[in-house]
Structure 1
């Protein structure tokens, strides 16, 4: 009787330990996968292109001079975007020609411009997509 009870308790303890080890391994594997999804700064720079300074008229009597950095989702997408630089400049100029200095005022105005640019450039892309558009320099006169 005692021997049988001891065997049952030992089986239960081993089962609980195995379940705990399996659960721990699963949690560690799931957390490992989440950490790898965020790109490093080196990967972001590698997948980005610079749009050199552009000077153009706004919808009002003002003109703007700005530079951009466009982040893509891969190095291949950045290479494609670099080849499409003339199309990107055209989109920037067209977008800005319909905006006034007031449209670009503040954080929200710049974010609206960046998002509109991102959507229009993504329509051009065949390999990959634009993740983010950054304004790196900006002057309105």
Structure 2
């Protein structure tokens, strides 16, 4: 490069320090973004991005009947608007899933958790502008 060895060594050291500084900055900003995205939502955020279903009463496979209500949390405001428009599809999903279940499927908290997860997966198949984050059971009566 240059005829002077000292200038060559100085340039190599400067380029190395610049490269290390650049890599450090990139890693720092990526870790800062990861911390912001992993921050848990506040209760106000959850309520702002949630949709309540009306109370649904339907028969089970065993001729018992169940009355349920859910609060469905989505990931953004566009998804909330879409979910509000898809209310009839959400009700249909819930009725279809409940009609194939038995009263014994709801034994213990695991039964309700499975139902919530199943509803979440089925609704996400329809969603286009976001995803369902959680489904909360807000009312449940089995007779």
Q: Which among 85, 88, 97 is matched to residue 86 of structure 1?
A: 88
Q: Give the TM-score taking structure 2 as reference length.
A: 0.75
Report the aligned-residue RMSD.
2.3
Distance in 2 separating the partners of 1:126 and 1:56: 28
Matches within 5 A, 1:1-141: 30=31, 32-37=32-37, 38=39, 39-141=41-143
Structure 1 counterpart SS, 2:106: coil
Distance in 2 separating the partners of 1:67 and 1:106: 18
CA displacement, residues 37-75 of structure 1 (integer Å, 9 cap, x when unaligned): 222222211111000100100111210001100010111
Aligned to 1:10: none
Distance in 1 separating the partners of 2:77 and 2:70: 18
State how many pairs are aligned: 121
Q: Give the TM-score taking structure 1 as reference length.
A: 0.76
Taking a change above 3 Å as real, the CA distance of residues 59 and 78 of structure 1, as seen in their structure-2 partners, is: same
Structure 2 counterpart SS, 1:102: helix
Distance in 1 separating the partners of 2:58 and 2:68: 9
